[in-house]
Chain A
Amino acid sequence: MTDGIRLRGLTKRFGAIEAVSDLSFSVPAGRITGFLGPNGAGKTTTLRMLLGLVAPTSGEALIGGRRYQDLEQPRRVVGAAVEAMAAHPGRRAGDHLALLAEPAGASSARIEEVLEQVGLTDARQRRVGSFSLGMRQRLGLASALLGDPAYLVLDEPANGLDPAGMAWLRRLLRDLAAEGRTVLVSSHVLSEVAQTVDDVVIINAGRLRYAGPLAELDSDGRSLEDAFLQLTTS
């Protein structure tokens, strides 16, 4: 269905600090790719460069061969949820989605559909300020899904979800990947995504440590957790 996501030599310096160093990897379509690393590894900066929010110092990040900012109607191509708290606390959930639906080319029927999909139908008239973190995550996912995008870029979507929410998220991502979409999900906890992802990209201190199938991460007999820790602490 899509060409996937490709990063080539992506680098970002903030003053003297190199947050992301020469990062190259691909995210194939039809699979779920986990983007892992400890806090401060550069995951969020990388995703923000992918979405045109942060300008790379060098290198490029392409979505289906194009930069995010060069896409005609980006919200119809890429569904992004990069900030769970990013909603005006005084705005009602339904209004929040309506504002994002317009640039996503989504109808009001589509708003109902995604509200249903994330289980927030009854909360649509509530102001976002009264939402729990888990509900905000669901609202973020709803906004990402509005444009029925071929690409999903989710920053720590499991953060704040309860176990039932985690199971729900897992099924949702599975279904989306099975439809041929490209799904990139970040997390700082491997165990959180181990049951969900097909491939993993692991970074530490802004550098690539591993990119490949999850199944091959523990191929030398170590546990997944041990392999992850070794890659991210050395």
Chain B
Amino acid sequence: MPQLIRLELHKLRTVRAPWVLLGLSQLLIVAGVSGLVLSSDTLRTDDAVPAALAHAGLASLFTLVLGITAVAGEYRNRTITDTFLSVPRRSRAVGAKLAAYAVAAAVFAVVNAVTALVATKVWWLAKDVPLDLGGADVWRTIAGCAAWNVAFAVIGVGVGALVRNLTAAVAAALVWIALVEGIVGQLVGDLARWLPFAAGSALGDLPGRAGDLGPVSQLAAAAALAAYAAAFALVAIGTTVRRDVT
């Protein structure tokens, strides 16, 4: 199994998409932190630093897309045939993908966190505001963002296995986040804070989202997102094992 995970990571390293997604994540984080700073009256509030750092979690959009490429991308490029010829026991092949993409997302998470910290540091210096990165809030936010990054990659693998058309899968995932979750949220009332993006936001401590809907502790959000990830992992394996590759 470790050999199969290494093989999946090797596959990722030899194409450009993961590097592009990693680059875009950093752009998003820098733009997000800058936007927050430029639109704030003051950075001298308690939650300004976590709010800036939380943009590392928002980069989960890109780990989600990365995860979607795991299976849907292989169908698009027809490399899924070679994958299953190498590993005919498909549950092992998909299991290796789930693990490998979680590892890749963890690497994303580290880079995302560093970028968020550096961007925050630079802006606080520029605005001449003292910055304390030693607080519990800071590291809680960073850890939450990393967990969100990883969970969304695993969910993405499941989405891509379910909807094997890459374009449709990416579109469906982004439309869910941009539009559908909001609509569903209005329909389900209080339960809205447990929907995937809301749970991710709470986990990453992103203000102005889940926070408005009432208190969801970071741990509860982590549990919810872990449940989503587990469910989608099962979906990924279940849909892939029996399906004909024509």
Binding site for B on A (CB under 8 A): 44-45, 48, 51-55, 68-69, 71, 74-75, 80, 82-83, 85-92, 95-96, 98-100, 102-104, 143
Contact = CB atoms under 8 A, between A and B. Distances in A.
Nearest to A103: B86
A102 B88 contact: no
Given A45-B246, A53-B245, A102 B85 contact: no
Nearest to A51: B85
B7 interface: yes
Interface stretch (B10-18, B25-33, B154-162): B10-18
A103 B244 contact: no
A80 B84 CA distance: 12
B78 interface: yes
Interface of B: 3, 7, 10-11, 14-17, 77-79, 81-82, 84-89, 242, 244-246
13 contacts: A48-B244, A52-B88, A53-B245, A54-B245, A54-B246, A55-B244, A80-B85, A98-B10, A99-B10, A99-B11, A100-B86, A102-B3, A104-B86
Nearest to B11: A99
A71 B87 CA distance: 10
A52 B84 contact: yes
Contact of B7 (A75, A83, A91, A102): A102
Contact of B81 (A82, A88, A91, A102): A82
A90 B3 contact: no
A198 B10 CA distance: 41
Given A54-B246, A95-B14, A102-B3, A74 B77 contact: no
A53 B81 contact: yes
A100 B79 CA distance: 11
